[in-house]
Amino acid sequence: MSAELSPIEKAKFVAAKRASDMVENGMKVGLGTGSTAAWMVRCLGERVRQEGLKIKGVPTSTRTADLAREVGIEVIALDEAGWLDLTIDGADEFDAELNLIKGGGGAHLQEKIVASASDRMVVIADPAKEVAHLGAFPLPVEVIPFGWKTTRKLVEEMLEGMDVLGRDVTIRMNGAMPFVTDEGNHILDLHLLRIGNPRQLALVLNQVPGVVENGLFIDICDTVVIGHGDGRVELRDVAAGSVQQDSMEFAESENLFKDV
C-alpha cells in the first residue's frame, strides 16, 4: 500500500514515523492536527496495538481526538494531564530558528496551548515547509465572532506599522459561511508574503481587541523532523544545534494505510 503513496505523502509518513519512535511507554503526549500529524497518530496507534505501548494522548482538535480513539490511543483532556512529556505536530512553515506558522487546519489555538504545556515540541514536516522567511503561507489569527469586522479593521491598521510585504486580511470561509473553530471562533488569514520580525508581530497581534491567538509559534518548537519521499529523515535540534540524518523503511502494516 505504501508504494501507492505520492512522494509528498511518503515524506510526511517517514517524518511522522520517526517522530512517533520518540514516544516512550508511560508518556503523556500532545497529538497535533493536520495531514502530517494524522500519520503520526496512526503510527502511534500501530505501536499501541503491536507493541503494547501505553500512553495518554491529549488531542489538539476534535478530529484528532476521533482518530486517536479509532486507532486505540487513550485520550485525556489537557486539564487532566496537567503537563505533557512531548507534543508532536505539523507546521505550515518553519524557518532556520524553528519559528513556525501553524493554523492551516484551524486548530492553532489548542495546538499552541498544548505545545506550551509540554517539556518538548517536535514538529514533523516535508521539505516544502522550510522557508527562509515566514509569511508566504497566510498567517491565521483566531478572533471572536462578535465584531469580527471591527477586529479585522484594527488588524489591518496595526499591520501598517509592521515589517511585512503584504497586508491583505480575509475571513476564512467554510462554504458560504465563516469557518468556525472548535472553540466557536472565526479565523482571519493575513496574507503577509514575508514577515520581517515574527516575534514582534506575534506580540502585537495578541494586543488587538477581539484577537484570541495567532499562528506564530515563537520559541516553542525544539526539534523538527523533515521527511523525504525516498525515506530519508533529517532531525534538527535548535537547542543542541545538531543535525542528524536517518532513513526509514516503508514496510508498514495494512492497518496503517487502510484509510489512505
Does the annotation flag 106 for ligand binding?
Answer: no
Decide: 51 and 57 in contact? Cβ < 8 Å: no
Does the annotation flag 103 for ligand binding?
Answer: yes
Give φ, ψ of 195 to 5 degrees: -105, 115
Which distant-in-sequence residues (6+ apart) come within 8 Å of 139 by Cβ?
Answer: 101, 103, 189, 190, 192, 195, 214, 215, 216
Handedness of CA 123, 129, 133, 134 (dihedral sign): negative
Catalytic annotation on 111?
A: yes
Does the annotation flag 91 for ligand binding?
Answer: yes
Does the annotation flag 147 for ligand binding?
Answer: no
Catalytic residue among 46, 111, 142, 213: 111
Does the annotation flag 35 for ligand binding?
Answer: yes
Does the annotation flag 161 for ligand binding?
Answer: no
Does the annotation flag 10 for ligand binding?
Answer: no
- Beta bridge partner(s), residue 56: 28, 74
Does the annotation flag 12 for ligand binding?
Answer: no
Active site residues: 111
Binding-site residues for substrate: 33-36, 89-92, 102-105, 129
Binding-site residues: 33-36, 89-92, 102-105, 129
